[in-house]
Amino acid sequence: MDHDELVRVRSDYDRELRRDAVPDTAAARVERAGAVVRQTTPGEGWNGVLWSDLAEDTADAEIAAQVAYFEGLGSGFEWKLYDHDRPADLAERLRAAGFVPEPAETVLVGRAQELAALPVEPPEGITLRTVEDEAGVELMMDVHAKAFGTHRPRIRQLLLTLLRDEPETVAAVVAMAGDTPVSAARMEMRPGCSFAGLWGGGTLAEWRGRGLYRLLVAHRARIAAERGIRYLHVDASDDSRPILQRLGFEALGRTVPYAWEPGRDAGPV
């Protein structure tokens, strides 16, 4: 993509996935509150600020209002900060309000049609299993626990909820070596959105370097392209970023999730 297209794509990304975002599940609610757009979800769903347009003289009050709102719900939440968000010192203001930054990620975007055409074949002995039920979700969770070293109950519940209520919005897949799950990933697609999100790509250590990551990217890209979705987007770690860029993804910018939990003391102002 040239510079002008990247600028346009970033504008579309901000509008569709942030400012005019739709809930990520049927149970979630997205609303405009002052100068922010936030999502609230019952249970273990994701809560957070998706978009903000803050002025220097009102930013601290807007941050305090969101803290008070989620504190009233008894819930922690995440403020997704992007490097082009205003004001320029928003990160410092969030830290002063008690938010803790998580690892920075690079927002990558690629054309679905081009990524769908990647020349890939499954390694010998590998088959792909579409996740359609709880048994498939458990296979994914097994891969995630072994690949990332953590259990992810929120992701498990999200997948089960989407497969039950809105199966058309998720495409999840597990790479199987015989009866053993060795790699897994999912894609989330919201109605009317020109971007589909790639999430959770993980491969067992002993199976890395054999093309499984590339295989699952191309597999999901084909699904997106068949549905007329123009772009794939990824919040990429520093480990996955170079792999994805070699496949054809390009950077839109950096994002840092800032996490706030009830009872956490604010930092120094």
Tell me phi and psi for residue 80, to 5 degrees: -80, 105
* DSSP sequence for the chain: --HHHHHHHHHHHIIIIIIT---SSTT-EEEEETTEEEEE-STTS--EEEEE---TTTHHHHHHHHHHHHHHHT--EEEEEETT-SSTTHHHHHHHTT-EEPPPEEEEEEEHHHHHT----PPTTEEEEE--SHHHHHHHHHHHHHHHSS--HHHHHHHHHHHHH-GGGEEEEEEEETTEEEEEEEEEE-TT-SEEEEEEEEE-GGGTTSSHHHHHHHHHHHHHHHTT--EEEEEE-TTTHHHHHHHT-EEEEEEEEEEE-TTPPP---
Architecture of domain 3-105+255-260 in CATH?
3-Layer(aba) Sandwich (3.40)
pLDDT for position 151: 85
pLDDT for position 168: 96
Give the type of residue at 103.
P
pLDDT for position 154: 87
Per-position b or e across 153-188, b if 16+ CB within 10 A of its CB: eebbebbebbbeebeebbbbbbbbbeeebbbbbbbb
pLDDT for position 269: 38
pLDDT for position 1: 86
The domains spanning 3-105+255-260 and 110-253 adopt the same CATH topology: yes
List, run by run, the mean pLDDT of 10-residue segments along the chain (269 residues): 92 97 93 96 92 96 97 96 97 98 97 96 94 97 93 90 95 97 97 95 94 96 98 94 95 97 63
Geometric angle at alpha carbon 24, from 18 and 26, rounded to 5° = 135
Domain positions in the chain: 3-105+255-260, 110-253
Cβ 40 vs Cβ 47: under 8 Å: yes
What number of other Cβ atoms are within 10 A of residue 86's Cβ? 13
Whole-structure pTM value:
0.92
What kind of fold does domain 110-253 have according to CATH? Aminopeptidase (3.40.630)
Return d(Cα 80, Cα 63) in angstroms, integer: 12
pLDDT for position 265: 58
